[in-house]
Structure 1
């Protein structure tokens, strides 16, 4: 009997430790409408794990298709499985809203959508989508459609399209042939164009046609959100985006945004705000005069345009006396100092977020190290330096929206539960954007080169994960110490590569 109680005690203690990992299970728990059906853009942490954690901070559980139905790097998703799963999931009585990536649903994921050779024609995918819209039966349904960059062609096209009318003619001809299902004309165009250029034109023209048709078939409860992936002002992708914008002008319930990876997080924030009639307020602080009119790398709009459209998307408004301050950090050698900036702008009761866009694919090391040194973790409520400026800015907008929502909670137990997941999210941002992207990634690439490993096609992932854990550990230990020094307990953090490449990592914090 004594042994039984010892085992029971160990079990209960173990149950009190939560590890922030995604289960992707579809447990039937008809308690309240606290679930969101979610078909992600792809299976990267930024598109899936991190969205789930931020949703939990907002009090929502994501219902996700079985993991073996979803994409995995260059492996397309099983679109039939996702379709069948959705038909049963959107009708559940405990579901309040539905979010569907059309790239995943129609093309098999973001990477798959960059290649015109798809198993399912987009028209069949749209017919299936119409059925899901009908089955949603008035629930909030957000379709997220990303117009993808078709690397490496984007960079070859940037300086050409405004000078070369031939490219625009190709685009219009390909678009017309696809819309008319004219295989003969497509083959003629293919024979006249370099293969990379044909793929490029086919993809961007298809995306325009897909979104035009979806836009014309929306129901009152459905929102179409169109994201513009990595681009520049002179790319053919930007040209096709503007073409789409002019075509669907006048349709209701449509948003067109710059960015991609961050839009799912913003959509969760948007749904929470709409359900509770909550309107978060924001004040935008630019680092230097004129920053708001800058065009940054990989973007087709100014910093002001990008930031304001994202605030509007989540249902927020701008105000000088806002609850949330979003600070756009653009200059690596800024002399003001983040501590002085926080002291100048943040007052009691406000949330302060830093969109770190001084560089792409990683945070500004000097900035983050100053945050740690001055113990600003608790004063800086949101941070992101992920990938492109749109990604970073949109992530911070979503974070601050969720933080405002959490701050309004009165129940202490509920508040603590939400904060647990929120701080897990902020921990991941520093671990990924600063530790990995700005420090360890270079070390891992050197390790890969010295061992004859292709960093974009890792054959022995276990070996790479072991090296990654070793190189990340001292930095993660320091980050956990910084959090503990600010009163936030993180017991540990697991880390691995989510895909067989070294572009990003998956960080899973372990919480009390």
Structure 2
């Protein structure tokens, strides 16, 4: 009987003309944009389209080099135009100088890309390689970095964010000559504790001298790790090269005239604290200035820089935030690639964004699902989070959602969220990558969105860009990562006899893989898209809301020709008046 009543009420509402109505306001006219010259870490989605969406949601536009200049190619894949697997350092250097000559005054620059041709290649360059410019000039890496920084420092109006990373514990599988066995062996070697250096003993030369020593001061025997001398020599030389370039950059920006330079360093895939990274992290941290930061996570560096640039330029005064954990394991690392407890990573990021942790009267709330302390209580953990999320929705509390469960809940959590919550109302969501990256991604987007709403200047274009990044994050995590990707991995491996980590080793039928992706996404995304299309979102902090319009997906692609990540085009229909709620359900 209740179902019949609900159906009748809903039918009357539709007949009365309460379907999608274009929203005349939508946030107001799109204002002129400030340009940021941006050299990305590489060509993966988080560093390209997701960065574009975030920037545009804050009233910026990103100027970027040609994709080929920062593209990474895995082993046996077609090479870039420069004849290599990595980015074109000469083209990128000249591109930045051209932006400066054209009058640009906002920069976000990945030094891994500018100095090494990308994150992956920075792990495999074990000796300095000079750079030949288009006019034949040859620069050492040191000269290129010095010229770049000096040129940008000459204009006092420039705001420059330099993004750097602490090299991870092992190189990339399927790049250069490294395979899974080599990766595992070097990661185990890198995870071993080294002698801890402090005070005056904390120097690059001492760090390098201790690379081969265990925490007790004796040489780590390579046969115990199934490693050969040449492998370790390359690995350690790459670490030294990268640390030396980071040192040069940090020493340069401490000089007068670099006050408008900001350094953000990310710790790439780590493990326990006492690893080969510990002395490197301590050394780099000792050189940071006020306002610089060294945080867990690398793939989210651009997000953090874009968000922090916006906060600084709009007079951000911070906010009070409540962080609630569900699952019971927040006091330990959230996955094998984190070296700190989840609570520590969250607290470091909240401090970076000037958020004050509070238990009462917060401005916004962060809800975090951790791995389950008790496997039998999984449903209770995410059920309690969903109840809290729905309470936040009823109260109009701006909310950020982080899935730090690292896949331990399967599809159950995401299915429940899709059925029981209004996904499009969240400030931000993240859950696709390692937990340090997830934390930085969710807080970057959520805090930036909150600040944009607080400013009262979130126009139509900014709202559309925010909706794009929200849809991208939810759809990829809920539908691709936990559903379609698993099917694709099995299909490539079992049906095509290929390698899901590299479709060119051996070469597989790319058209067949593409067709499998498209059919899988068409089926998997329907319910989530319906949820988004029935959602409202906050258009300001007074509680005003706007309804989502249609969400259409297309042009699916594999940027690295592997199953791990995808890119896709998202088309949004016009925003509408707020969707109405009947018996707990929003309808269009």
Worse-matched range after superposition: 268-277 or 72-81: 72-81
Is residue 2:354 matched to residue 1:354?
no
- Residues 316 and 129 of structure 1, relative CA distance in 2, 3 Å threshold: farther
2 CA distance for matches of 1:224 and 1:164? 25
2 CA distance for matches of 1:315 and 1:221? 19
- Residues 161 and 33 of structure 1, relative CA distance in 2, 3 Å threshold: same
2 CA distance for matches of 1:240 and 1:203? 16
Q: How far apart are residue 173 of structure 1 and its match?
A: 6.7
Worse-matched range after superposition: 496-505 or 296-305: 296-305
Matches within 5 A, 1:50-449: 50-74=50-74, 75-93=85-103, 95-117=104-126, 119-120=129-130, 122-149=141-168, 150-151=170-171, 152=183, 153=185, 155-157=187-189, 160-162=192-194, 175=208, 194-218=229-253, 219-234=258-273, 236-245=275-284, 247-248=286-287, 251-288=289-326, 291-297=329-335, 298-319=337-358, 320-332=360-372, 333-336=378-381, 337=383, 338-344=385-391, 348-359=395-406, 365-408=411-454, 410=456, 415-449=459-493
Aligned partners of 1:70 and 1:77 also within 8 Å: yes
Q: How far apart are residue 45 of structure 1 and its match?
A: 0.4
User: Which residue does the alignment assign to 1:9?
Assistant: none
SS of residue paired to 2:564: coil
- Residues 417 and 82 of structure 1, relative CA distance in 2, 3 Å threshold: same
Q: How far apart are residue 427 of structure 1 and its match?
A: 1.0
Aligned partners of 1:458 and 1:501 also within 8 Å: yes
SS of residue paired to 2:553: strand
Give deviations 1:214-240, integer Å, cap 9, x for gaps.
111111110111110110125644324
Rg (Cα) greater in structure? 2
Aligned partners of 1:323 and 1:349 also within 8 Å: no
2 CA distance for matches of 1:129 and 1:201? 27
Aligned partners of 1:154 and 1:236 also within 8 Å: no
SS of residue paired to 1:287: strand
User: Which residue does the alignment assign to 2:579?
Assistant: none
- Residues 237 and 314 of structure 1, relative CA distance in 2, 3 Å threshold: farther
- Residues 448 and 288 of structure 1, relative CA distance in 2, 3 Å threshold: closer
Q: How far apart are residue 397 of structure 1 and its match?
A: 0.4
2 CA distance for matches of 1:130 and 1:43? 24
Matches within 5 A, 1:482-493: 482-486=531-535, 487-493=547-553
User: Which residue does the alignment assign to 1:186?
Assistant: none
Is residue 2:557 matched to residue 1:496?
yes
- Residues 223 and 60 of structure 1, relative CA distance in 2, 3 Å threshold: same
User: Which residue does the alignment assign to 2:43?
Assistant: 43
Aligned partners of 1:363 and 1:386 also within 8 Å: no
Q: CA RMSD in A?
A: 3.1
Aligned partners of 2:97 and 2:148 also within 8 Å: no
SS of residue paired to 2:362: coil
SS of residue paired to 2:38: strand
- Residues 139 and 446 of structure 1, relative CA distance in 2, 3 Å threshold: same
- Residues 245 and 72 of structure 1, relative CA distance in 2, 3 Å threshold: closer
1 CA distance for matches of 2:442 and 2:186? 27
Aligned partners of 1:35 and 1:63 also within 8 Å: yes
- Structure 1 residues without counterparts, runs of 5 or longer: 1-15, 17-30, 179-188
User: Which residue does the alignment assign to 1:26?
Assistant: none
- Residues 70 and 135 of structure 1, relative CA distance in 2, 3 Å threshold: farther
TM-score (norm. length: structure 1)? 0.82
Give deviations 1:449-499, integer Å, cap 9, x for gaps.
121222222135444222211111111233221212224223411221111
1 CA distance for matches of 2:570 and 2:73? 23
- Residues 349 and 164 of structure 1, relative CA distance in 2, 3 Å threshold: closer
SS of residue paired to 1:241: helix
Residue correspondences, number: 463
Q: How far apart are residue 67 of structure 1 and its match?
A: 1.5
Aligned partners of 1:162 and 1:234 also within 8 Å: no
Is residue 2:498 matched to residue 1:453?
yes
1 CA distance for matches of 2:274 and 2:485? 29
Q: How far apart are residue 279 of structure 1 and its match?
A: 3.2
Worse-matched range after superposition: 265-274 or 206-215: 206-215
Q: How far apart are residue 72 of structure 1 and its match?
A: 2.6
Q: How far apart are residue 439 of structure 1 and its match?
A: 1.2
1 CA distance for matches of 2:503 and 2:519? 17
Is residue 2:517 matched to residue 1:468?
yes
Worse-matched range after superposition: 65-74 or 265-274: 65-74
- Residues 416 and 158 of structure 1, relative CA distance in 2, 3 Å threshold: same
Aligned partners of 1:208 and 1:244 also within 8 Å: no
User: Which residue does the alignment assign to 1:7?
Assistant: none
- Residues 406 and 490 of structure 1, relative CA distance in 2, 3 Å threshold: farther
Worse-matched range after superposition: 120-129 or 463-472: 120-129
